[in-house]
Amino acid sequence: MWSVEPIQILLAVILDLLLGDPRGWPHITRLCGVLAAQYERLITLRGRRSVMSGILFWILVYGTILGLWFVINGFLKKILPNASWILEIFVIYQTLAAMDLRRHILAILNPLQKGDLPEAREKLSWIVGRDTDQLDEKEISRATLESIAESANDGFVAPLFWAAVGGVPAALLFRASNTLDSIVGHRNERYECFGKFSARVDDLLCWIPARLCVLISMIYHGFHTWPSISKEATAHASPNAGWVEAAAAHSLDVCLGGENFYQGEKITGPIFNPQGRPPQPSDIAAGLRWLWILEGGAVLICLGINLLMNNGVFL
């Protein structure tokens, strides 16, 4: 079992909050994207896009990243053990994206508060897949809150959880799987079969962290919303996204979900907290405060899990 120390996890979180994702730095997510493009091209050059070729694609991308980690870390452990310890912190930090999410959200909120809808729509289009060019203030606010909810899990809680459970290899497993899901995990003609394995692995790795988000939210806001959250979450196409979105909707007392347009096609999704009010720009600031609650709770719980793992309680 690979593990890291609690202090390493805490330092990785602090680095994320201080630095975010500096542009131009080498980054695991960007490396994963480069590898994905190259391996997809090689695998599909003469073969067809099947489930099996998609499994091979996933193995090659994650295997390359994991192999690089073991080579570099093994070399450092032999010549400079302290550098290996620091590298583990740096890698875990790179799997987290809390501060980067905040920067994206503020880039939407600031023009929205000034009434600059075209600027807010443009910045929103950077983080959502839906059409944004016709969205009004309420719809921009709703889309932003839904992004906060989903990204809270993908960008922070899930990678932190897996780092606590399995150290750097598990954190890399999540970040690579989540990145590959965003690249090939689409239900279209090109990726329906090829990306199926990547999507299923990401679903599996997000399952516990998504429900951990709900638990943290309810600890803070109360457990009276559990019946509604559990009912509404299962209506979502994703086995995980609906849980965090439902928790956000009930915690902020807003109505989320509903109709969205993707390349002009209307897609109707589940509605979370239908008795809630329509989101406003001020709810985005409240959503960022809710994000702090999730992150703080996740840090405490994951540090506890890591301590138990290191003490052999779960072994």
pLDDT in tens, the chain (315 residues): 578 999 999 999 999 999 988 887 889 999 999 999 999 999 998 878 999 999 999 999 999 999 999 999 999 999 998 999 999 999 999 999 999 999 999 999 999 999 999 999 999 999 998 999 999 999 999 999 999 999 999 999 999 999 999 999 999 999 999 999 999 988 888 899 999 999 999 999 999 999 999 999 999 989 999 999 999 999 998 999 999 999 999 999 999 999 998 888 898 989 999 999 999 999 999 999 999 999 999 999 999 999 988 886 554
CA distance linking residue 72 with residue 70, whole number of Å: 6
- Among 57, 68, 112, 75, which Cα is nearest to 91's? 68
* The predicted structure's pLDDT at residue 63: 97
* The predicted structure's pLDDT at residue 313: 57
**DSSP secondary structure letter of residue 20:** -
How many Cβ atoms sit within 10 Å of the Cβ of residue 133? 9
> Do residues 164 and 309 make contact, with C-beta atoms less than 8 angstroms apart?
yes
Pull the structure tokens for residue 132.
């944004």
* The predicted structure's pLDDT at residue 312: 64
> Do residues 151 and 127 make contact, with C-beta atoms less than 8 angstroms apart?
yes
158-184 and 6-19 helices cross at what angle (nearest 10)? 60
Pull the structure tokens for residue 278.
């329509």
Read off φ and ψ for residue 226, nearest 5 degrees.
-55, -45
Amino acid at 222: G
- Which string of DSSP letters, residue by residue, matches 251-302? HHTB-EEEEEEETTEEEEEEEESTTSBPP-HHHHHHHHHHHHHHHHHHHHHH
pTM confidence score: 0.94
* The predicted structure's pLDDT at residue 1: 56
SS3 231: helix
> CA distances (Å), 59 to each of 17, 35, 39, 180, in order?
31, 11, 10, 11
SS3 172: helix
